[in-house]
Amino acid sequence: MPEANELSEIIIHVLDLPAELAFYRDLLGLRLIPADPGDGARTRLDAGACTLALDASQTPAPLPGRMRLVFRVPDVIFTRKDLLARGVQLGPLYEPAPGWLACDGSDPEGNPFSLQSSTDGAVITTTTVFPTINVPNTSSRRVWTV
């Protein structure tokens, strides 16, 4: 049986591709991946261990807030301060687990994301599931993998 043990792409269905691209590329600093023939209304960004695909091909786009992206940053305090100064709406800092500091926000279409950094240099992956939310809020259910 094949194993699905590596995340390779996250797809966000968007309404305004230029606004979403500007947010993830220009504000969060993800690198644009050159388009492949047949990409159509899809733009891909290098998100480190996986690809983030912004897909404007579905009309109407699915409702935002069905998933959350978690971005690991070197210093969440510095990153949060920088993004707030650039107009990004972010919630307060909180400790999702011992040794970790995070804050939550949403992109221009309301898709939730979190920024997090380790206070002790450890590496952790976070998945947060929010059935319906108004960002910024903390989750009532978190799944942590170490």
Residue 131 reports pLDDT greater than 80 = no
Q: pTM to 2 decimals?
A: 0.60
User: pLDDT higher for 1 or 41?
Assistant: 41
What six digits make up the tokens of 94? 């909180």
Averaged confidence pLDDT in the chain: 77
Superfamily of domain 8-62: 2,3-Dihydroxybiphenyl 1,2-Dioxygenase, domain 1 (3.10.180.10)
Tokens 């966000």 belong to residue: 12
- For β-strands 31-33 and 125-128, DSSP reports them as unpaired
Residues of the chain with CATH 3.10.180.10: 8-62, 63-146
Which pLDDT score, from 0 to 100, does residue 50 have? 87
Which pLDDT score, from 0 to 100, does residue 24 have? 96
Q: How far apart are CA 48 and CA 117, in angstroms?
A: 15
For 29-33, 53-57, 94-98, 121-125, which range has the lowest pLDDT when averaged over its residues? Answer: 121-125
**H helix runs in the chain, sequence order:** 17-21, 76-85
